[in-house]
Amino acid sequence: MKKTKLFKVHEKLGAKIVDFAGFAMPVQYSSIIEEHLNVRNNVGVFDVSHMGEFFVKGERALDFVQYVTVNNASKLTEGRVQYSAMCYPDGGIVDDLLVYKLSDTEFMLVVNASNIEKDFNWIKQQQEKFGVELVNASDDYSLLAVQGPKSKETIQKICDKELDLEYYHYFYANVAGVDMLVSRTGYTGELGYELYFTGDEETAEKVWNAVFEAGEEFGIKPAGLGARDSLRLEMGYCLYGNDIDQTTNPLEAGLGWITKLKKGEFIGREALLKVKEEGLKRKLVPMISEERAFPRHGYEISVEGKTIGHITSGTVSPVLNKPIALGYVEIEFAEPGTNVNFVIRGKEIPATVVTLPFVKKEK
């Protein structure tokens, strides 16, 4: 298993380590619920250094990004970030990702850890016709996600710039004596910042320790992948490999808002235009139950004994203390207010299709 530069820190903190996308990653330190609620109420820190960072450089960098992603990257200015996805020619999803415009001739793509090799091979296949340079710098970067209502006060104490970033913006700053890219995107629904920096284990530990020292008065705690998953699910954010993959397209996955079919040619556009024209057959929907149950990935969804879909992500929300899930259902059952059932060990558990997010937050 690969290790992030903070692996020794996680070991020292007694984290439960699991294999995630080939990385030895902390799934929890204390308890998932405790870490989850601390991010919602105070501030938590995730080591997400396993994520991938690709750089696209060259005169036609924008043309390349436009061609391989579904969102309209021409709307980006320096200092802005965009949520996007890459598709195969049949409209299936290669990955969802973040696009950072660093300059007119350079972009950074941040991809999921489990897809680094696959994604880089995919974009390399498209490289030639645009003459761009592609660099996979994933192993060089450490990445901390500092999330929660007290994240700004925490980072501001060790940042040399006024932390006045708008949502989906970034700047370069010096944090804890280390030059880095600081952005404000997040995967929890809370106010939060991402710290991208290079350097050895010592540098990574220095930043980690400075963040924890700065956040001590705000109840800062480390958070693992378990809380990251339950936090993103409360917001209804997709997880690649669960809610989206090669067999799903962005329109049925509720990602139509990032899929700009009118921007011009991109991979998958023809297939997606056809999907739109023919109408969706199924849709990813959020569901909630008032019963005691634990919906899990792969469980069936039924109406009157008939299977109408399956759960892609499920948990018991630590904030609502109710079972929540995302899942694909046949289109006629996708309207909010529709009554459905989670099929758990052969038993039908009543649930209702709702609207996102499950937990309403101020960002």
Residue 163 and residue 218 in one domain: yes
Residue 174 and residue 220 in one domain: yes
Token digits of residue 38? 């601390």
Asked whether residue 299 is assigned to any structural domain, the reply reads: yes
pLDDT given at position 362:
60
pLDDT given at position 361:
72
Residue-by-residue pLDDT tens, the chain, 363 positions: 999 999 999 999 999 999 999 999 999 999 999 999 999 999 999 999 999 999 999 999 999 999 999 999 999 999 999 999 999 999 999 999 999 999 999 999 999 999 999 999 999 999 999 999 999 999 999 999 999 999 999 999 999 999 999 999 999 999 999 999 999 999 999 999 999 999 999 999 999 999 999 999 999 999 999 999 999 999 999 999 999 999 999 999 999 999 999 999 999 999 999 999 999 999 999 999 999 999 999 999 999 999 999 999 999 999 999 999 999 999 999 999 999 999 999 999 999 999 999 998 764
pLDDT given at position 181:
98
User: At which residue do the structure tokens 């080591």 appear?
Assistant: 47
Asked whether residue 245 is assigned to any structural domain, the reply reads: no
Asked whether residue 222 is assigned to any structural domain, the reply reads: yes
Asked whether residue 256 is assigned to any structural domain, the reply reads: no
Which of 111, 118, 52, 58 shows the shortest CA–CA distance to 88?
Answer: 118
Residue 37 and residue 165 in one domain: yes
Please tell me the distance from the alpha carbon of residue 336 to that of residue 88, in angstroms, as a whole number: 30
User: Around 199, how many Cα atoms within 13 Å sit in the side-chain half-sphere?
Assistant: 17
CATH of residue 341: 2.40.30.110
Alpha helices in the chain (DSSP H): 7-12, 32-41, 61-68, 116-125, 151-156, 201-215, 225-235, 269-278
Residue 218 and residue 117 in one domain: no
Domain count, the chain: 3
Asked whether residue 274 is assigned to any structural domain, the reply reads: no
Residue 176 and residue 309 in one domain: no
Last residue in a domain, options 114, 136, 158? 136
Asked whether residue 241 is assigned to any structural domain, the reply reads: no
Residue 326 and residue 206 in one domain: no
Residue 227 and residue 98 in one domain: no
CATH of residue 223: 3.30.1360.120
Residue 304 gets the label, from left (phi > 0), alpha (psi -120 to 50) or beta, of: left
Asked whether residue 255 is assigned to any structural domain, the reply reads: no
Residue 126 and residue 163 in one domain: no
Token digits of residue 272? 């997606």
Last residue in a domain, options 233, 251, 268? 233
Packing angle of the helix pair 32-41, 225-235 (nearest 10 deg):
60
Last residue in a domain, options 200, 233, 266? 233
The parent domain of residue 101 ranges over 52-136
Residue 178 and residue 191 in one domain: yes
Residue 16 and residue 159 in one domain: yes
Please tell me the distance from the alpha carbon of residue 15 to that of residue 226, in angstroms, as a whole number: 11
- Output the pTM of the full model: 0.97
Residue 219 and residue 179 in one domain: yes
Residue 151 and residue 205 in one domain: yes
Asked whether residue 129 is assigned to any structural domain, the reply reads: yes
